[in-house]
Amino acid sequence: MDYTDLVSGLKNSFKKGTTKPLAWRIGQLKAMDRMLAENEDRIIDALKSDLNKPAQDTIMAEIEFIRNDIISLLRNIKKWSASQPVTKSLVTLLDKPYIHPEPFGVVLVIGAWNFPLQLSLAPLAPAIAAGNCGVIKPSEISPATAELLGELVPKYMDNECIKVVEGGVPETTELLKQPFDYIFYTGSTVVGKIIASAASKNLTPCTLELGGKSPAVIDDSCRNLETAAKRLLWGKTMNAGQICVAPDYVLCTKETEAKLIPVIKKLLNDWFTGNVEESACYCRIVTTRHAERLNGMLQSTAGNIVIGGKIDVDNKFLEPTVITGVTLQDSTMQEEIFGPILPIINIKDIDEAIDLINSRDKPLAMYVFSENQKSIRKLRDNTSSGGFTVNETILQLSVEELPFGGVGSSGMGAYHGKHGFDTFTHYKPVLEKNLGWLGEKLAEFRYPPYNPRNINFIKALIKNREMPSFAFLNYLLSLAVGTGLGILYTKYATV
């Protein structure tokens, strides 16, 4: 396969300027919204087929998640796409400095399988809002959703500017040879390095939305263990734990662990009515290969499986499983779990938790359950992670103003809301001047031959000082100061 024609076609559409007018961007966002609204049932079916995803989760975390993003983009697109004036200095008082947002060009969005609709369309929407052409490459591991996207996107959206490429590693490898203007990748850290290396060959900027082991610290001060356990478990059992920001492992004291285990046991029993395998509220592991990986982890753990542990690889089922007595050497601590296994490591205090977290790669998310502000601040200020969430899991993603992304090996760059628009925008600095007499006279000192008599004048002129931010005041000041400096300069500083 060769994607040269596909990408050069998109580049031509971009060059023609098709995607720049606000009308086109708004039209495409509305078309995407219509596509989601009119095909809700088919999307639910596709995700059921790929992951046994319950309709409620598909509506909440895939369809409505993207539709809400679109609402926000439509609400703000005019404001975000407009040029933004910046504060002037004395040197630029007579000029017009501003920031002009411009699209990069043709962007490639590579999605992952766990939220296969969201992870392809949620980056595409801000890319379109920012005025780019785009190619999405949904994950081949969730084939029903990939196929549906391949059918629906060309039907609803502008084919000259937006394409879907279906396929796996060979197709992505070929696509990556093309000179994209931006690459947005979601997936594992290992593949993230391959993407970054391919992008560097064309000096293409990229965002890497990766994963990692996100810890959940449960402090002894956390008295409302039932609510804490509900929120922790929701993050670990939704999508059968196949969420990049799922709490990967728990850090708590032996005393807190002893109180937590019976609470978790009861909750799981209540939520899945005593039979997880038959529950319509529980996902499957995406493929038997992925279930096999989790089985390996489970079979070789040196910890104690105190809850769950039942696995049926052929049917891609793994019961929510809690393991105690876990050490850093355990099989569950060697890589991101990305499944419904929850190891608990005992620590003696917050300081030990901080040391342990800091001895590992920077996680994508970090969770703290605590009723002690001192402990919360200590953890926040002495660790580094993509995000930091207190007494909750996953919901940080629903706060549009919060950038979502990793740090270090959990990724680079961020999106959601305005941050998504920013990701797909080059903020071009523009300085507009005129060729009039006054401006030229004021700035003449910069030309050789230099004159030592000008030094004090230059120091005063270029000094970094606070300027009034009102446009009218700026205008008055520019007239007054410009004229004053012009007179002074002509009188004392002529070469």
Q: In the complex, which residues of this chain contact ligand NAD (CB under 6 A)?
A: 110-114, 119, 137, 139-141, 168-169, 172-173, 186-188, 191, 194, 209-211, 244, 336, 338, 364, 406, 411
Query: Shortest approach of ligand NAD to residue 206 CB, angstroms?
Result: 13
Chain-centroid distance, C-alpha 82: 24
Nearer residue to ligand NAD within complex by CB, 116 or 320:
116
Q: Which of 254, 281, 369 is nearest to 54 (CA)?
A: 281
DSSP helix/strand/coil, 449? coil
Nearer residue to ligand NAD within complex by CB, 244 or 341:
244
Query: Shortest approach of ligand NAD to residue 114 CB, angstroms?
Result: 5
Query: Shortest approach of ligand NAD to residue 147 CB, angstroms?
Result: 14
Query: Shortest approach of ligand NAD to residue 416 CB, angstroms?
Result: 10
* Cross-strand pairs, 369: 218
In this structure, what DSSP letter does residue 331 have? G
Nearer residue to ligand NAD within complex by CB, 32 or 146:
146
Query: Shortest approach of ligand NAD to residue 142 CB, angstroms?
Result: 7
- Contact between 379 and 368 under an 8 Å Cβ cutoff? The reply is yes
Query: Shortest approach of ligand NAD to residue 121 CB, angstroms?
Result: 13
DSSP helix/strand/coil, 429? strand
Chain-centroid distance, C-alpha 455: 48
DSSP helix/strand/coil, 489? helix
Nearer residue to ligand NAD within complex by CB, 141 or 218:
141
Nearer residue to ligand NAD within complex by CB, 122 or 162:
122
In this structure, what DSSP letter does residue 308 have? -
d(CA 315, CA 318): 9
Q: What is the rounded end-to-end Cα distance, in angstroms, of the chain?
A: 67
Amino acid (one-letter) located at 459: K
Q: State the catalytic residue, choosing from 62, 161, 209, 336.
A: 209
Nearer residue to ligand NAD within complex by CB, 228 or 414:
414
> Is 244 an active-site residue?
yes
Query: Shortest approach of ligand NAD to residue 26 CB, angstroms?
Result: 26
Query: Shortest approach of ligand NAD to residue 212 CB, angstroms?
Result: 7
Nearer residue to ligand NAD within complex by CB, 104 or 404:
404
d(CA 386, CA 212): 10
Q: State the catalytic residue, choosing from 244, 257, 283, 319.
A: 244
Tell me the DSSP string of 202-232.
Answer: TT--EEEE-----EEEE-TT---HHHHHHHH
d(CA 182, CA 207): 8
Tell me the DSSP string of 347-395.
Answer: -SSHHHHHHHHHTSPPPSEEEEE-S-HHHHHHHHHH---SEEEES-SSG
Tell me the DSSP string of 145-178.
Answer: HHHHHHHHHHHHS-TTTEEE----HHHHHHHTTS
- Contact between 215 and 248 under an 8 Å Cβ cutoff? The reply is yes
Nearer residue to ligand NAD within complex by CB, 289 or 433:
289
- Sole residue written with tokens 């031509």: 12
- Sole residue written with tokens 């300085």: 431
**Which residue lies nearest ligand NAD, judged by its C-beta?**
211
Q: What are phi and psi of 343, to 5 degrees?
A: -80, 145
> Is 209 an active-site residue?
yes
d(CA 47, CA 54): 8
d(CA 252, CA 185): 34
- Sole residue written with tokens 């263990």: 225
Nearer residue to ligand NAD within complex by CB, 370 or 385:
385
Query: Shortest approach of ligand NAD to residue 191 CB, angstroms?
Result: 4
Q: Where in the sequence numbering do the catalytic residues fall? A: 209, 244
